[in-house]
Amino acid sequence: MELLKRKILDEGEVYEGNILKVDNFLNHRIDVPFLREIGKEFHRLYNNCGVNKILTIEASGIAIGSMVAQEFDCPLVFAKKNKTKNIAGDVYVTPVESFTHGTTYSVMVAKRFLREGDKVLIVDDFLAIGNALRGLISLVNESGAELVGCGAVIEKSFQHGGDKLRAQGIRVESLAMVESMDHKTGKIVFRN
Amino acid sequence: MELLKRKILDEGEVYEGNILKVDNFLNHRIDVPFLREIGKEFHRLYNNCGVNKILTIEASGIAIGSMVAQEFDCPLVFAKKNKTKNIAGDVYVTPVESFTHGTTYSVMVAKRFLREGDKVLIVDDFLAIGNALRGLISLVNESGAELVGCGAVIEKSFQHGGDKLRAQGIRVESLAMVESMDHKTGKIVFRN
């Protein structure tokens, strides 16, 4: 998606530790009109696949998921991290290791919100090692719902999470694939 | 908003400890087409106020904020809880006590995303004691931006947070005001 690549080049910042900061439009300040274009692009890619539920993970997947769900005219379910008072016991849960935070946390979805018969598209802001996506995929599989595919706004393809999922036969679409980036020069190179 | 009241009566569940669970449409499974109506209603209420930024707090405010920002055709900023690697040091921060979780956490917004000249509408899913809103208001005040007002999808008016803010001269609009609820009978009464 050319508009996205342009935005990453214009507004993204590269930090040590393979961190690409795009909080000017994707995950702190949200450029909602732009995110609408993201939603339309995922709809274009997964149209005619029977998607009837979008699944993402809090917090930075929610705005993206909302815009994607809007295009599909279907509900969004966001998986929660850790257990809160407001989730009853009947949940699917899986551990996920966080690349960003260097910790492991639990990810859960109430069982009544993921069901056999659902055709699920998983979306998230970033795909790097793929831990969050693998966690969400495992929740979908446990529920008996059908996984249609995954969509990441930005894939850091040099961390190989996306290619590993594709090698397992899972459809993964990323709107921009960062092949390399350098925090010393700020240079970002995309995969074609 | 009659459609919202109907949904609360049909799908809401009342639990001990003043908990109204609406995770079937508002904060776990998100009824995105319905949330679009929520966005339109806040736009109707705050139209012609010059709003150019929507502010909310992760996680359950984000989907609502996205739909409101879409109507105003402006960016959404979501305040983050706790400090993560991905936020640089230059932040406004304030402590907030959580009614739901019984803990205190830090809420922060990067300084570059809230500025003098901004006209800010704060939105969130719930307004109870008002701690989260007060925290967000304090971030807006610290930044020098102008607070246009606040919008809550559901106000638990028997917890008086909304009325206290109104008594301070802050405009607070709630789309449904729960005057009382009873976890034994499940009965929910709205304020007219």
CB-CB contact of A4 with B41 (8 Å): no
For residue A83, pLDDT over 60 is answered with no
- The Cα A10–Cα A55 span in angstroms is 29
**Shortest CA gap B12–chain A (Å):** 12
CB-CB contact of B135 with B105 (8 Å): no
Q: Which two tokens stand for residue A1?
A: 């998606």
B179 and A CB contact within 8 Å: no
A184 and B CB contact within 8 Å: no
pLDDT of B87: 53
Q: Is A75 in contact with B35 (Cβ distance < 8 A)? A: no
Query: Closest chain B residue to A70 measured between Cα atoms?
Result: B32
Averaged over B82-108, what is the pLDDT?
78
Mean pLDDT, rounded, of chain A: 94
pLDDT of A149: 98
pLDDT of A160: 97
- The Cα B22–Cα B29 span in angstroms is 9
- The Cα A160–Cα A179 span in angstroms is 10
At how many degrees (to 10) do helices B62-72 and A62-72 cross?
60
Q: Is B100 in contact with A78 (Cβ distance < 8 A)? A: no
Question: Which of helix, strand or coil describes residue A103?
Answer: coil
For residue B85, pLDDT over 60 is answered with no
pTM as predicted: 0.95
For B28, other C-beta atoms within 10 Å of its C-beta total 26
Cα–Cα–Cα angle for B32, B56, B96, rounded to 5 degrees? 130
- The Cα A29–Cα A12 span in angstroms is 13
Q: Which two tokens stand for residue B99?
A: 């009614």
pLDDT of A15: 95
pLDDT tens figures, A100-153? 677 888 999 999 999 999 999 999 999 999 999 999 999 999 999 999 999 999
pLDDT tens figures, A1-38? 999 999 999 999 999 999 999 999 999 999 999 999 99
For residue A85, pLDDT over 60 is answered with no
Chain A contacts in chain B segment 102-121 (CB below 8 A): 109-110, 113
pLDDT of B112: 96
B93 and A CB contact within 8 Å: no
Question: Which of helix, strand or coil describes residue B119?
Answer: strand
Cα→Cα distances A166→A43, A141, B69, B133, B134, Å: 20, 16, 35, 43, 46
Query: Contacts of residue B42 in chain A, CB cutoff 8 Å?
Result: none
B84 and A CB contact within 8 Å: yes
Nearest to B85 among A63, A85, A100 (CB): A100
- The Cα A139–Cα B126 span in angstroms is 28
User: What are the phi and psi torsion angles at B61 (to 5°)?
Assistant: -80, -15
Query: Contacts of residue A100 in chain B, CB cutoff 8 Å?
Result: 84-86
pLDDT tens figures, B17-29? 999 999 999 999 9
Query: Closest chain B residue to A78 measured between Cα atoms?
Result: B28
- The Cα A13–Cα A8 span in angstroms is 8
For residue A86, pLDDT over 90 is answered with no
pLDDT of A179: 97
Query: Closest chain B residue to A59 measured between Cα atoms?
Result: B59
- The Cα A54–Cα A133 span in angstroms is 13
User: What are the phi and psi torsion angles at A120 (to 5°)?
Assistant: -105, 130
